Structure 1
Amino acid sequence: MSVLLIVLVALLVFSIFRYYRQKMILNVLNQDQWIEGYRKAQLIDVREPQEYDAGHILGARNIPVTQLKQRLVEIRKDKPVYLYCQKSSRSGRAAQILHKQGYKELYQLKGGFKNWTGKIKAK
């Protein structure tokens, strides 16, 4: 019983730590704020290719979070990076990866693609 309690407390502490760390490195933007700046930024959809093909924000490039470390050369460090996924969890992980590699201007779409009401493109 005490081992289970220790594990649960450790998970809770880890989750809280991750949440606050992510808030420090990632600026969350609502759709209007996103639209204001995304034309001057690198717009990256971190979902898997089949999700991207089903519909994505106009102008976005697909670099799945699962491939991000291998494809860092495709993302410039001197320009803002706008990240989104379906809900927001994968783009948060992508931001942590990019931050560790020295990227500074990281932004996330609040609520992810599922809440997007702007222009989209599908294959």
Structure 2
Amino acid sequence: MQEIPIITPEELKEKLEKGEKLNLIDVREEEEVQEGMIPEAKHIPMGEIPNSLDQLDKQKEYIFICRSGRRSENVCHYLQEQGYKVRNMIGGMLEWTGKVQRKK
């Protein structure tokens, strides 16, 4: 299995603070994102990823986020096999120290 490129929560926070345009996808469940998610992230629960491929562009890189980094890693493996450019935020939201926004 191919290795998944990673990004740390710290690196991601720095990129966002510099104003970089990144494609972030939070794959946690609805009740988890209620607690707060990275404002720039889009929410697609892990179970909906296979049906959401039409929303993703193979030319772009996507950074996947979950609570601890496990589920997002699984999503990354799946998408990488489909030919997408992916990166996993290791440590997940448990280690995120940047801004969060509560989902309404």
Report the TM-score when normalising by structure 2: 0.86
Aligned residue in 1 for 2:11: 33
- Residue in structure 2 matched with residue 50 of structure 1 by the alignment: 31
* Count of residues paired in the alignment: 100
| 2:81 pairs with 1:81 | no
8 Å Cα contact 1:42-1:75 kept in structure 2 = no
Q: How big is the alpha-carbon RMSD for the aligned residues of Structure 1 and Structure 2?
A: 1.5
Q: Does 1:65 align with 2:46?
A: yes
Contact 1:43–1:60 (Cα < 8 Å) also in 2: yes
Task: Mark the structure with the bigger radius of gyration.
Answer: 1
Report the Cα distance in structure 1 between the residues aligned to 2:58 and 2:13, rounded to whole angstroms. 21
**Cα deviations by residue, 1:77-104 (Å, 9 ceiling, x for unpaired):** 1111000100011001100111121103
Which of the two has greater helix per residue?
1
CA distance in structure 2 between the partners assigned to 1:37 and 1:98 by the alignment: 23
Q: Is the 8 A contact 2:25 2:62 kept in 1?
A: yes
Partner of 2:94: 114
**Higher RCO (CA < 8 A, seq sep 6+):** 2
Structure 1 residue ranges (4+ consecutive) displaced by more than 4 angstroms after TM superposition: none
CA distance in 2, matches of 1:75, 1:50: 24
Name stretches of at least 5 consecutive residues in structure 2 with no aligned partner.
none
Q: Which ranges of structure 1 fall in alignment gaps of 5 or more residues?
A: 1-20
Amino acid at match of 1:32: E
